[in-house]
């Protein structure tokens, strides 16, 4: 496609940096001694530069050199760029800092718009007329235009080309690209192609063919673009399938385009359709077999007890749960098992998972009864009633710790939360108790399309900034509702639950670093876990502006909860400087603007620690020429980053710091009674204030010895145990502050499992036993 690929090169060599987590960042590569360092004023040549940045003309992406796997040398950026002639401001004052954006108009057909920012000027704001001057597949350059009512102000900023709708780009090109010059118009097609906007490229090329019907050779290029679009469509179907949106995936497969699409692609489409048809047929067949099998149980008492269990399976069996029927399907025609044993395989597989199915129907029915009691316990607020439920569980054969843990992992969320709107689009407005004496904490939830309580969903907890709302946070991540009330944003597309706590007080303009704010965020998450199928290993905390400040602080104060934290336009202050050791245990992704005042200079001390010390996973993104904004341009990169993150809830060693009484739980260690010097709840701290350092390790020998060692300044320590971290069939030695406090084989405890699942809301990793130590 020589004509289409004709372009104006930027002439800058772009390398590809491959990180150890699999991400690839393309652009001009450089190195820094500190993030506070100006790339225009580099340090001496012999300075140590542990921080690497990649400049792609839109963003400057920085990360520790230790995260790099390899750097692939590239060639000049030969992507097409289209220049737009504008009356650019020259010779005036160059803007050095961009205040909070108060207003940003849509880009008009001439590539111009007005942007208003908060400034020390008449009316408290500064209005700027901006113009698009260069459009590249990745980035668009926007510059300030000549001012008629005052001196020029020079401002050069970049926005993501992907954030500009095709309708807007088409109008700009119509006014700045000759409609009678085929080659010039083909540059537009090339730009769309290199931006992987294949439908836009096809529409533009078809418009060229309509205007120049003699250009027969371009018809072949239309076919080539259709082929690229088909590949993209197939990838989108796979994304939706992995997100559990099977109805949509099947609909897209049924309407998959065939014109000019390669046979290999159509074969993949057919294979996906056949796979779905086979799975649906298997589900229908399993339901039929199960209904027939329960009727064949000879014992009428057992049959009547089994019928409600079987009815539940038949009513709810789907693509997310068919794997639980593996044992039943394998042995449904076995001549050595009777009907009761076969039905038992189905019921126990449904409750515990296919690998834990049992042929003992009495046991399976007891496990079913135990699940009912487990659900009641988790939803019961009264302690005496919970104690009575525990007594009932103890009388059930299926009420042992092992079965309870399996039940927790596969049951629906314990608190039933009916839809709040009709039709049901998965939007909820809920509330939960905060700290004693404080008001209820309201929060919003948006579930992804085709939400299924039997699946686990990655989850975003997003915190609004001052002057913005939880609704705006939901809109940012999940998209604004369309005319039908459906959100089609990226969280919906990728299959994420989005949760937005109303965490600020009325008129709050700064993050306070206090217990109320922490409790608001954590209480909302735990309440949501009781109501919805949150994958607790893939929960991400994020926020904008002061919500970003909170996300940074709460993220590293409780690193065991999050798969990652994404502070956007955040400032680190107070406790953050003392909690840098905690940040090693939670991946961090910062987003901000190059011209957002002195924010980077303020943050550099803490970010440099993350960048230069071993073991940290941190990414810092600065948008060129931008200030204090929401940076929706970054959202695709954020989902790519989240897609490869998963929490490790059972680290074998860690070191953490605590400086507030509520920053007292870290994975399998909980602290109480911190020394007075570590309870700093008012800032600035007294001179004798010191954070409590806690170090914990788990060592296992080849001989089967298991030793847990905890050192902490807290007076009371609880060590929590789970089978993912230790073998309950072997002796465990627990040493706290150099003293052996436990040296026996721990006993799994149903009460510990259930109370832990109830209070933390984590049904994936309940603790089975605890060792409490007092000084």
Chain segment 446-484, per-residue pLDDT in tens: 999 999 999 999 999 999 999 999 999 999 999 999 999
Question: Is 212 domain-assigned?
Answer: no
Radius of gyration of the chain (CA): 30
Q: Taking 90 as the threshold, does the pLDDT of residue 80 lie above it?
A: no
Question: Is 433 domain-assigned?
Answer: yes
User: What is the DSSP code (8-state) at residue 325?
Assistant: G
Question: Is 190 domain-assigned?
Answer: no
Domain boundary among 176, 209, 226: 176
Q: Do 604 and 660 fall into the same domain?
A: no
Q: Do 546 and 452 fall into the same domain?
A: yes
Q: CA-CA distances (angstroms) from residue 546 to 224, 464, 508, 509, 551?
A: 48, 7, 9, 7, 9
Q: Taking 60 as the threshold, does the pLDDT of residue 368 lie above it?
A: yes
How much is the pLDDT for 7?
Answer: 42
Section 607-616 average pLDDT = 97
Q: Please, what is the average pLDDT of the chain?
A: 95
How much is the pLDDT for 119?
Answer: 85
How much is the pLDDT for 216?
Answer: 86
Instruction: Please give the Cα distance from 618 to 62 (Å, whole number).
Output: 8
Q: Do 368 and 505 fall into the same domain?
A: no
Q: Do 453 and 387 fall into the same domain?
A: no
Question: Is 200 domain-assigned?
Answer: no
Q: Which CATH number is 503's domain given?
A: 3.40.50.1820
User: What is the DSSP code (8-state) at residue 686?
Assistant: P
Over residues 246-258, the pLDDT tens digits come to 999 999 999 999 9
- Return the ∠ at Cα 377 (arms to 532 and 325), rounded to 5°: 60
Question: Is 452 domain-assigned?
Answer: yes
Q: Which domain holds residue 52?
A: 2-72
Q: Taking 90 as the threshold, does the pLDDT of residue 74 lie above it?
A: no
Q: Do 431 and 569 fall into the same domain?
A: yes
Bridge partners of 707, per DSSP, are 699, 733
Q: Do 391 and 322 fall into the same domain?
A: yes
Question: Is 214 domain-assigned?
Answer: no
Domain count, the chain: 5
Q: Do 575 and 667 fall into the same domain?
A: no
Over residues 1-46, the pLDDT tens digits come to 433 333 444 445 689 999 999 999 999 999 999 999 865 566 666 6
Q: How much is the pTM?
A: 0.95
Section 201-219 average pLDDT = 93
- Go through 163-198 and write b for each residue having 16 or more CB atoms within 10 A of its CB, e for each that does not: ebeeebbbbbbeebeeeeeeeebbbbbbbbbbbebb
Q: Do 637 and 673 fall into the same domain?
A: no
How much is the pLDDT for 138?
Answer: 96
Bridge partners of 358, per DSSP, are none
Q: Taking 50 as the threshold, does the pLDDT of residue 354 lie above it?
A: yes
Q: Do 377 and 519 fall into the same domain?
A: no
Q: Do 625 and 761 fall into the same domain?
A: no
Instruction: Please give the Cα distance from 499 to 532 (Å, whole number).
Output: 11
Domain boundary among 607, 642, 677: 642
Question: Is 647 domain-assigned?
Answer: no
Q: Which residue has the higher pLDDT, 299 or 9?
A: 299
Phi-psi region of 513 (alpha: psi -120 to 50; beta: other; left: phi over 0): left
Over residues 140-153, the pLDDT tens digits come to 999 999 988 778 99
Q: Do 706 and 677 fall into the same domain?
A: yes
Section 190-213 average pLDDT = 94
How much is the pLDDT for 38?
Answer: 61
Question: Is 683 domain-assigned?
Answer: yes
Domain boundary among 126, 148, 176: 176
Section 330-356 average pLDDT = 98
How much is the pLDDT for 78?
Answer: 77
**What is the pLDDT confidence band of residue 409, given thresholds at 50, 70 and 90?**
very high
Q: Taking 80 as the threshold, does the pLDDT of residue 618 lie above it?
A: yes
Q: Which CATH number is 48's domain given?
A: 2.30.30
Percent of the chain with pLDDT over 70: 97
Q: Do 676 and 529 fall into the same domain?
A: no
């Amino acid at each position: 496609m020589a004509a289409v690929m004709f372009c104006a090169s930027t002439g800058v060599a772009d390398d590809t940096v491959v990180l150890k987590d699999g991400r690839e960042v393309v652009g001009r590569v450089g190195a820094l001694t500190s993030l506070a360092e100006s790339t225009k004023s580099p340090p001496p040549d012999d300075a140590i530069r542990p921080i690497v940045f990649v400049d792609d003309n839109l963003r400057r992406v920085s990360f520790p050199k230790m995260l790099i796997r390899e750097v692939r040398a590239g060639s000049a950026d030969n992507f097409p760029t289209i220049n737009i002639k504008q009356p650019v401001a020259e010779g005036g004052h160059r803007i050095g800092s961009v205040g909070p954006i108060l207003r940003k108009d849509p880009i008009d057909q001439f590539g111009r718009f007005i942007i208003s920012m908060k400034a020390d000027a008449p009316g408290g704001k500064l209005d700027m007329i901006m113009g698009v001057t260069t459009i590249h597949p990745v980035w668009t350059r926007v510059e300030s235009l000549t001012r008629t009512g005052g001196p020029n102000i020079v401002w050069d900023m970049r926005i993501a080309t992907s954030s500009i709708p095709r309708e807007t780009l088409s109008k700009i090109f119509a006014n700045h690209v000759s409609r009678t010059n085929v080659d010039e118009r083909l540059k537009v097609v090339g730009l769309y192609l290199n931006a992987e906007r294949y439908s836009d490229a096809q529409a533009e090329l078809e418009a060229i063919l309509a205007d120049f019907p003699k250009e027969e050779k371009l018809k072949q290029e239309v076919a080539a673009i259709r082929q690229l679009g088909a590949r993209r469509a197939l990838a989108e179907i796979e994304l939706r399938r992995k997100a559990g949106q099977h109805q949509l995936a099947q609909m897209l497969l049924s309407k998959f385009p065939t014109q000019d699409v390669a046979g290999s692609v159509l074969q993949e489409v057919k294979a996906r359709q056949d796979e779905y048809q086979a799975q649906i047929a298997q589900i229908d067949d399993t339901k039929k077999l199960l209904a027939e099998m329960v009727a064949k149980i000879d014992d009428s008492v057992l049959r009547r007890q089994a019928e409600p269990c079987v009815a539940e399976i038949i009513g709810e069996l789907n693509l997310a749960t068919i794997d639980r029927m593996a044992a039943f399907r394998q042995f449904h025609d076995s001549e050595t098992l009777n009907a009761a044993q076969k039905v038992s395989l189905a019921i126990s597989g449904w409750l515990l998972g296919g690998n834990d199915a049992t042929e003992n129907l009495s046991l399976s029915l007891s496990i079913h009864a135990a699940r009912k009691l487990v659900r009641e316990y988790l939803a019961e607020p009264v302690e005496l009633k919970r104690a009575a439920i525990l007594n009932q569980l103890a009388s059930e054969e299926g009420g042992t710790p092992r079965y309870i843990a399996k039940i927790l992992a596969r049951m629906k969320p314990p608190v039933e939360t009916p839809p709040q709107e009709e039709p049901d689009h998965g939007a909820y407005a809920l509330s939960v108790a905060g700290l004693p004496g404080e008001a209820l904490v309201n929060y919003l939830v948006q579930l992804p399309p085709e939400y299924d309580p039997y699946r686990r969903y990655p989850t975003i907890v997003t915190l609004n900034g001052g002057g913005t709302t939880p609704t705006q946070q939901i809109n940012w991540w999940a998209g604004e509702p369309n005319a039908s009330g459906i959100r089609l944003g990226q969280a919906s597309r990728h299959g994420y639950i989005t949760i937005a706590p109303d965490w600020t007080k009325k008129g709050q303009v700064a993050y306070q670093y206090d217990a109320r704010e922490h409790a608001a965020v954590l209480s909302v998450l735990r309440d949501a876990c009781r109501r919805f199928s949150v994958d607790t290993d893939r929960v991400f905390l994020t926020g904008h502006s002061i919500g970003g400040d909170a996300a940074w602080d709460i993220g590293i104060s409780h690193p065991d909860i999050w798969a990652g934290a994404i502070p956007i336009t955040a400032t680190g202050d107070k406790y953050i400087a003392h909690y840098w050791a905690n940040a090693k245990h939670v991946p961090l992704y910062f987003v901000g603007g190059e011209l957002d005042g002195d924010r980077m200079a303020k943050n550099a001390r803490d970010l440099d620690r993350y960048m230069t010390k071993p073991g940290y996973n941190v990414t810092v993104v600065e948008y060129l020429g931008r200030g204090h904004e929401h940076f929706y341009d970054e959202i695709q990169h954020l989902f790519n980053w989240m897609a490869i993150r998963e929490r490790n809830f059972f680290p074998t060693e860690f070191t953490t710091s605590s400086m507030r009484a509520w920053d007292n739980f870290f994975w399998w260690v909980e602290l109480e009674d911190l020394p007075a010097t570590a309870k700093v709840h008012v800032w600035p701290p007294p001179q004798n204030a010191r954070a409590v350092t806690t170090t914990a390790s788990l060592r296992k020998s080849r001989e089967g010895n298991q030793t847990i060692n905890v050192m902490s300044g807290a007076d009371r320590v609880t060590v929590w145990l789970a089978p993912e971290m230790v073998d309950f069939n072997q002796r465990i030695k627990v040493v706290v502050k150099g003293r052996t406090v436990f040296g026996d084989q721990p006993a799994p405890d149903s009460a510990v499992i259930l109370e832990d699942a109830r209070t933390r809301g984590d049904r994936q990793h309940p603790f089975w036993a605890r060792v409490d130590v007092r000084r």
